[in-house]
Chain A
Amino acid sequence: MTNEELKAKLTGINSALTFEEGGQWLNVNVEPKDWLPFAKELRENPELNFDYMFCLTCVDWKTHLGMVYHLNSKNLKHIIVVKSKLDRNNPEIETISHIWRTAEFHEREVYDLFGVTFLHHPDLRRLLLTDEWVGWPLRKDYEDPVNMIKL
């Protein structure tokens, strides 16, 4: 599907979506509260069929946290990037680990490094850092005088 067709199709699902073009792939902005039903539709709608999530990450924009989901459809061969803005003081979004199983580990990583809470995640714990670690290292304001080397 071309970007125009994708845009028309996605707007049909959720009219509140906004789009950004000009990058590598079509970017879709979604409200955190709309994310779970939207994700289900992306996965299950036979015309969209996004069955492969190849990247899940987060970016600290200082004013807010931005979730970034890269989705690919294996048989229809289209790619979109879904983004969602979260409140930096209380970042919460629904988990999609039951839709794309790969998200379970990726969401744990984002929780570990950014402190985003994934609601209804089956096992939300720190993944790479120790359980006793304090703070969210990949946030821009994180300071660690011992472990951080600034170049």
Chain B
Amino acid sequence: MFEEVATTEQGDLVINVGPQHPSTHGVLHLIITLRGETIMKIEPHLGYIHRSIEKMCEGLTYRQFVYVTSKMDYLSSHINNHGCVLCVEKGLQLEVTPRAQVIRVLMDELTRIASHCLWWGALGMDVGALTPFFHAFREREMINVIMEETCGTRLTMNYMVPGGVMADLHSNFQKRVKQFIKDFKPKLIEYDDLLTNNSIFIERMKGVGILSKDDAVSYGCTGPTARGSGVSCDIRKWYPYEIYDKLNFEEVLETEGDSYSRYMVRVREFRQSLSILEQLIDNIPEGDFQTKTKAVLKLPKGEFYSKVETARGEFGVYIVAEGATNPYRIKFRSPGFSNLSALDHIARGQKIADMIAIMGSLDFVIPDIDR
């Protein structure tokens, strides 16, 4: 795998970025062929954190396997869990109480904001601006505190259960979320001043790493990556789950397909998620947070597929059930995996220095890719 020859027959230079490199946000290994400063080819090497989660899940029950998925896209762990419980509920034809539905959506949107905060800070760092990182982490911390109170943990929440959520909301929840909405709104203007309207940042991002609409669909790109190219693909709009069809929010679309468009999609999604939080926080229905379910869940023979919109795109759960207490086969369709496959196509012909900005704009979480 690590050949000593560092040039090709045409005299191109072959370099390794990663597996340990700050810009890859995890253990991703890219073998880049360079002609001068221009990228000729990028070959991703995956699997440094491959844990064979799909095989592991075959030995776990329908209650247990949900929580392994927190360790895939750890920034969207709530939403990963959500996709899994939706699939189990589909198999069991289980109704979820209105209160649980609202709690789930609230948690999903908080997760989305927290994930986008981390991305925003890290992207600034990738292009050489360290300040945004501290700003974004300050706001993310507020969400972590909210999560910690209700779910008990700060990163891998494991809060969803088939039939509802594991525990009721903490008594501080509403107060804290309202405070967060109030505090975060002016921060978004600050964010725009720091990066969005920063001319150095715009120079680095605009017109760099263009992904066309057709290519985005063909490569299976989803989430903000595809929406930056004008592909309408928000699962919350297309295949609404829980109460998303009753909420008033718009699917953010940009048309240029460059790094800046992808950046803009996520920044505008901050406001959409905030709007969803505002619509729901005073309207959490009373009632049970969990439907009564049997202690041992058995899915009937058949195949079930559910999809949810994580912070990175479409997360699919495909369960093949044989009537037992554990799945016969599970496939997780992770958004990062498909988005990564487009990297070579996007970065070809670009300068090596822009590669870091392009990777930042694609927002990879490596455990999500490796599974």
Instruction: Please tell me which one of the listed residues A23, A54, A59 contacts residue B314 in the complex, with CB atoms under 8 A apart.
Output: A54
Interface string of A119-151 (1 = CB under 8 A from B): 000000001111100000110000000001111
Q: With A101-B341, A127-B47, A128-B46 known to touch, is A55 a contact of B305 (CB < 8 Å)?
A: yes
A100 vs B342: C-alpha distance when bound (angstroms)? 12
A55 touches B341 (CB 8 A): no
Query: What's the tally of chain A residues with a CB closer than 8 Å to chain B?
Result: 34
- Please classify the interface of chain A as helix (H, G, I), strand (E, B), loop, or mixed, using the class held by over half of its residues: loop
B220 touches A52 (CB 8 A): yes
Q: How far is the CB of B348 from chain A (nearest CB, A)?
A: 13
B54 touches A74 (CB 8 A): no
Q: With A24-B303, A54-B314, A102-B341 known to touch, is A151 a contact of B331 (CB < 8 Å)?
A: no
A40 vs B47: C-alpha distance when bound (angstroms)? 31
What residues on B are CB-neighbors of A130 within 8 Å? 1, 47
B370 touches A105 (CB 8 A): no
A70 touches B305 (CB 8 A): yes
Interface string of A97-108 (1 = CB under 8 A from B): 000111011100
Q: Considering only CB atoms, which chain A residue lies closest to B331 in the complex?
A: A57
A85 vs B58: C-alpha distance when bound (angstroms)? 21
B47 touches A24 (CB 8 A): no
> Is B40 among interface residues, defined by CB-CB distance under 8 A?
no
How many A-B residue pairs lie within 8 Å, measured between CB atoms? 84
Q: How far is the CB of A39 from chain B (nearest CB, A)?
A: 13
Interface string of A29-63 (1 = CB under 8 A from B): 00000000000000000000001111101011000
B218 touches A102 (CB 8 A): yes
B220 touches A53 (CB 8 A): yes
Interface string of B45-80 (1 = CB under 8 A from A): 011001010111001100000000000000000000
Q: With A100-B220, A105-B341, A130-B47 known to touch, is A151 a contact of B59 (CB < 8 Å)?
A: yes
Query: What's the tally of chain B residues with a CB closer than 8 Å to chain A?
Result: 40
Interface string of B314-345 (1 = CB under 8 A from A): 10101010000000110101000110111001
Q: How far is the CB of A76 from chain B (nearest CB, A)?
A: 13
A-contacting residues, B292-321, CB 8 Å? 302-305, 307, 314, 316, 318, 320
> Is B191 among interface residues, defined by CB-CB distance under 8 A?
no
Q: How far is the CB of B329 from chain A (nearest CB, A)?
A: 5
Q: With A101-B219, A102-B218 known to touch, is A55 a contact of B370 (CB < 8 Å)?
A: no
Instruction: Please tell me which one of the listed residues B52, B314, B328 contacts residue A137 in the complex, with CB atoms under 8 A apart.
Output: B52
Instruction: Please tell me which one of the listed residues B218, B232, B302, B331 contacts residue A23 in the complex, with CB atoms under 8 A apart.
Output: B302
Interface string of A1-42 (1 = CB under 8 A from B): 000000000000000000000011100000000000000000
A74 touches B231 (CB 8 A): yes
A101 touches B305 (CB 8 A): no
> Is B217 among interface residues, defined by CB-CB distance under 8 A?
yes
A129 touches B47 (CB 8 A): yes
A7 vs B331: C-alpha distance when bound (angstroms)? 26
> Is B250 among interface residues, defined by CB-CB distance under 8 A?
no
What residues on B are CB-neighbors of A102 within 8 Å? 218-220, 338, 341
B302 touches A105 (CB 8 A): no
What residues on B are CB-neighbors of A127 within 8 Å? 46-47
Instruction: Please tell me which one of the listed residues A24, A51, A81 contacts residue B218 in the complex, with CB atoms under 8 A apart.
Output: A51
Q: How far is the CB of B206 from chain A (nearest CB, A)?
A: 25
B340 touches A100 (CB 8 A): no
> Is B215 among interface residues, defined by CB-CB distance under 8 A?
yes
A105 vs B45: C-alpha distance when bound (angstroms)? 11
Q: A23-B303, A74-B232 are in contact. List 15 more A-B contacts (CB 8 A).
A: A24-B305, A53-B220, A55-B318, A55-B333, A57-B318, A60-B329, A70-B318, A74-B231, A74-B233, A102-B218, A102-B220, A105-B338, A128-B47, A128-B50, A150-B59
- Can you sample 6 A-B contacts with CB below 8 Å? A53-B220, A54-B220, A55-B333, A60-B329, A74-B231, A127-B47
On B, residues with C-beta under 8 Å from A are 1, 46-47, 50, 52, 54-56, 59-60, 90, 215, 217-220, 231-233, 302-305, 307, 314, 316, 318, 320, 328-329, 331, 333, 337-338, 340-342, 345, 370-371
A-B pairs, top 4 by smallest CB distance, nearest first, are A102-B220, A128-B47, A105-B341, A57-B331
